[in-house]
Amino acid sequence: MKLQSLRGFNDILPGETAVWQHVEQVARDTFAAYAYQEIRTPLLEQTALFKRAIGEVTDVVEKEMFSFDDREGLNLSLRPEGTASCVRAGLEHGLLHNQQQRLWYAGPMFRHERPQAGRYRQFHQLGAEAFGMPGPEIDVEVIALSARLLKRLGLRDLTLELNSLGSGDSRARYRAALTTFLEGHIDALDDDSKRRLVSNPLRVLDSKVPTTQAIVRDAPSLLDAMSAEDRAHLDGVQQGLSDLGIDYVMNPRIVRGLDYYSHTVFEWTTTELGAQGTVCAGGRYDGLVAQLGGQPSPAIGWASGIERLILLMKAQGLTLPDAAPDLVLCPADPDSARTLQRLAEQLRDDLPNARVQLSLGGKLKAQLSRAAKAGARFAVVMGEAERQDGKVHVKSFVHPEAADQTVAIDGLAVALAARLNLEG
């Protein structure tokens, strides 16, 4: 049997990892700018956590989780999302009671769904979660944080879509009105929506079936069922976004796929990725902490798929980083190889931000060809004559028409530092 990766579980090869590292570094810097602290949770949790947090009648729990019984008979699941684990960790370690927390995470998640571009069975998310702050100001902050991250990545032409699911009382009134409306069209609903009509009618609004989408366009709006208090919270979010110059559109059909959401929900969308148009999404989930056994605590967060961010960066033609070496040291003979190995270590001391590679094996012409193919910016060449004179030749791949520069070894770091900046 040929051994290969599982369907929907992808290798990230060396040619791609520089882009991933770039996205992750931009995210770390952006979270730090807002004083959010990183939390790292296990990949594996008790299945009961996700059933209680996400909802037993959601697609994630019903169809998509990787679950199994361990040797002790405990039912476990690979995490399908990050929020439930953050809340569980916060409760377990006493981080949430009468406290404010601003947290972020990054890592792999797992869902057993049909793989397609931007949607895999193992996928990677960046996420932010804020606990203990009830007002609309924190909603505005987490949305502003997501906006800044997308901007720092260079992404453009994104639309912020905003909605409110209101409080439990508002949703109960709306659920009754929506159920009455949908029952009037039950014969035209798809089978999945008929099932959801009984278990979770708001999820019908999120249907991707065209005939059902056409029906729900005329459905009553949750905004019309909201209490004055819920409306005031939404007004505060809208005003805060306007104060920061963050444009948005109201979309009353956003309900999100997880049961724990309430009040503010939002999505950043694009038209450039086909069906996978959502690149960042989240909302408020004030009831989840109590639902998992803690004291009631307001909370809001969002998550963004790294794979989808990179797909959009490529679709928009952004210049993406790579891990090509800045310098390749090419020896023409074994004695020069020993000298250049020592020199390589010295250059790593003197030029700590440079990527320095020692070429090993092959004739000089082949080494230079290999360095050029790898995307190197410069080659540092040494043969017997150069070694005797204490010099090297510096060849530019950035400007191949330029003549090689002969440089004394003692002054090489200074010369290269200047050229790296000039030709960077």
Q: pLDDT value at position 66?
A: 94
Model's pTM, two decimal places? 0.89
Residue 57, pLDDT above cutoff 70: no
Kindly give, in sequence order, each residue whose CB lies less than 8 Å from that of residue 278, ignoring residues fewer than 6 positions away.
267, 268, 269, 308
Q: In what order do the strands lie in the sheet with 75-78?
A: 44-46, 75-78, 67-69
Q: pLDDT value at position 217?
A: 86
- Alpha-carbon distance 226 to 230, whole Å? 6
Residue 276, pLDDT above cutoff 80: no
Name the least confident of 131-135, 249-253, 343-347.
Answer: 249-253
Q: pLDDT value at position 344?
A: 97
Most confident of 54-68, 253-267, 274-288, 369-383: 369-383
Q: pLDDT value at position 257?
A: 57
Which class in CATH covers the domain with range 14-167+227-315?
Answer: alpha beta
Kindly give, in sequence order, each residue whose CB lies less than 8 Å from that of residue 389, ignoring residues fewer than 6 positions away.
none
> Do the domains 14-167+227-315 and 327-422 sit in the same CATH topology, yes or no?
no
Q: Given the DSSP bridges, would you call strands 122-131 and 101-110 parallel, antiparallel or unpaired?
A: antiparallel
CATH of domain 327-422: 3.40.50.800
Q: Taking residues 17-26, report their average pLDDT.
A: 97
Band (271; pLDDT cuts 50, 70, 90)? very high
276, 119 contact by CB (below 8 A): yes
Q: pLDDT value at position 343?
A: 96
Band (10; pLDDT cuts 50, 70, 90)? very high
302 or 219: which leads in pLDDT: 302
Q: How do the domains of the chain map onto residue ranges?
A: 14-167+227-315, 327-422
Secondary structure of residue 308 in the 3-state scheme: helix
Residue 256, pLDDT above cutoff 80: no
Give the tens place of pLDDT for each residue, 173-199: 888 888 888 888 888 888 888 888 777
168 or 34: which leads in pLDDT: 34
Q: pLDDT value at position 356?
A: 97
**DSSP labels, 343-374:** HHHHHHHH-TTS-EEE--SS-HHHHHHHHHHT
Give the tens place of pLDDT for each residue, 90-137: 999 999 999 999 999 999 999 998 888 778 999 999 999 999 999 999
Question: Residue 275's Cα: distance from chain center in Å?
Answer: 18
- Alpha-carbon distance 213 to 77, whole Å? 32
Q: pLDDT value at position 422?
A: 63
